[in-house]
Amino acid sequence: MTATYTKMIAATTEWLARHSIDALRISVGLVFLGFGFLKFFPGVSPAEELAVGTLEQLTFGVVSGGVALAVVAVTECFIGLTLVTGKFLKSGLLVMAGALVGFMSPLVETFFAAGLLGAVFVPLNTRLATPELRYILEDADAKLLVLG
């Protein structure tokens, strides 16, 4: 290794040590902003139906349809803006904690339903290739596949 290469590695490591938390916070914020922004336009977000349905269930039908979509859009954009800018960060993290309960509720519902049916819950990673997914499903001897 040359001295220049060693210095470059040391400088990069030092920079990452100082800025990695900020980089992570900003990148997660951009994801929230992106998905939240899409929800301002009905029919554009791939998660629109799931978001509206989940909020309708969590509010027992009090908030539904376009209002539910707007609430989710504003919430996600607020979380994203607080993470990206660092302003009102505590408020944004508190809202994010509450939102994560809503985001995960369909998964939790499916998990407990599987247990009540005597089934085994086997989560799948959508980024896996088809042969890998096939292997997991065949190995689990899956009889039912729940998509959401």
Report how far residue 122's alpha carbon sits from residue 95's, in angstroms, rounded to the nearest whole number: 30
Does 93 fall in a domain? yes
Does 53 fall in a domain? yes
Residue span of the structural domain in which 65 resides? 3-105
One digit per residue, pLDDT tens: the chain, 148 residues? 688 899 999 999 998 889 899 999 999 999 999 999 999 998 888 888 888 888 888 888 888 888 999 999 999 999 999 999 999 999 999 999 999 888 888 788 888 888 888 888 888 888 889 999 999 989 988 888 887 6
User: Per the structure block, which two tokens stand in for 141?
Assistant: 């001897």
Q: Report CA 20 to chain centroid distance, whole Å.
A: 20
Number of domains in the chain: 1
Class of residue 57 by CB neighbours under 10 A (exposed 0-12, middle 13-18, buried 19+): middle
This prediction has a pTM of: 0.71
Asked if 114 contacts 121 with a C-beta cutoff of 8 angstroms, the reply is: yes
